Amino acid sequence: MSLPRLDFLALTHNAATWPWPGKVLFACALAGLLWVVGEAWYLSPPRERLRVLEARTAALQQQLAQRVDVAAGLEVRTHQVRVMEQKAAGVLGGIHGQPEVPELLEDIARLAAANGLVVEGITVLDEQPRSFLIEQPMQIGTSGAYHDLAMFVAALGRLSRIVTVHDVALRPDGTLLHLDLLAKTYRSDAPPGLPLESAARFAYDSSSRRDPFQPLALQDERVSGRPALAPDLIRARGKLEGLATDQFEMVGTLSRGGQMFALLRAASEVYRLTVGDYLGPNHGRVKTIHEGHIELVELFPDEQGAWLERSRTLKLNVNS
């Protein structure tokens, strides 16, 4: 059995005689067909372009919002840049135009003496030109006790000139320590700038720190310097004043005729001292003698040339 062939021409030719429901159904089908064809051929490409444009618009709006934020903070950033430029100009202007090496060497020698150190040598190296300034390096070698060396390095940063410390090397040198460092000062031909703001400067305090190179039993206790009268610089120095105080160790006490003596050893030789005797290169004098320690008073020149008094305690070496 075969289905009858559908003749669309005849069907549409007799459409005028169709009943109203048929006409409405045919019109709906034709409209749906036209909508599908129009959607596929005419509306899809513009809709895709619209989607791309909407995405691009969203991206542009995000960029605009970011640039608005940048523009809002531009005035603040401009002010910050100007302040930084003024500070940089002040730093360059605050650097001396001349090297003034002799004055700096005197300051370094005075700092070393103020902290009881022995300067073994200062070598002034060749200048090193940089982008905005000229470096003047100096190799410094000195020896002394650990805390004294630390106070010396900290004091270098408090000089009126800008001095930086590099390549620090520390090694034992008998009972003392030897310190090698590279110090750099700077000069510039820039015109004077604005005055620099004073910043907090580091000051080394040995009262709460121990010497990592000495056993706890041999640690000496010190207090900060106190103003004192200048010593007698023309006084004849004794034999024990030619040795650094840190080279001595207390090995015992001796009592004779109601007088107490301290026994100190240095370089395999034992010395007997009583109250008032001098010891070490810093005008040190024995203040009191006890069974387990002795107290010394030493004099040091400060950075301004005045004299300070500082106490030092040498403890008994129980292993001697």
Candidate CATH numbers 3.40.50.300, 3.30.70.60, 3.10.20.30, 1.10.10.10; the one for domain 101-187: 3.30.70.60
Question: What does the pLDDT look like over 48-82, one tens digit per residue?
Answer: 787 888 888 888 888 888 888 777 777 778 888 88
User: d(Cα 204, Cα 230) in Å, to the nearest integer?
Assistant: 24
Q: Is this prediction's pTM over 0.95?
A: no
Question: What does the pLDDT look like over 294-307, one tens digit per residue?
Answer: 998 888 776 666 77
Residues 6+ apart with CB under 8 A from 146: 177, 211, 212, 213, 214
Across the beta sheet with 307-315, the strand order is 226-227, 307-315, 293-301, 284-289, 278-279
Sole residue written with tokens 């010593």: 231
Q: Which helix or strand (DSSP H or E) is residue 66 part of?
A: helix 44-94
Q: How high is the pLDDT of residue 78?
A: 80
- C-alpha distances out from residue 20 to 13, 30, 297, Å: 16, 15, 128
Q: Where are the beta strands (DSSP E) in the chain?
A: 118-124, 128-129, 134-144, 163-173, 176-187, 226-227, 249-256, 259-266, 269-273, 278-279, 284-289, 293-301, 307-315
Is there a contact between 272 and 191 (Cβ–Cβ < 8 Å)?
Answer: no
Overall average pLDDT of the 121-140 stretch: 86
What residues pair up with 224 in beta bridges, in sequence order?
none
Domain boundaries, the chain: 19-94, 101-187, 216-315
User: d(Cα 245, Cα 298) in Å, to the nearest integer?
Assistant: 10
- C-alpha distances out from residue 130 to 134, 167, 187, 192, 286, Å: 6, 19, 10, 19, 52
User: d(Cα 300, Cα 112) in Å, to the nearest integer?
Assistant: 10
Question: What does the pLDDT look like over 257-292, one tens digit per residue?
Answer: 888 999 999 888 899 999 999 998 888 899 999 988
Is there a contact between 90 and 147 (Cβ–Cβ < 8 Å)?
Answer: no
* Residue 141 binned pLDDT confidence (cut-offs 50, 70, 90): very high
Is it true that domain 216-315 has CATH number 3.40.640.10? no
* Tokens encoding 75: 């005035």
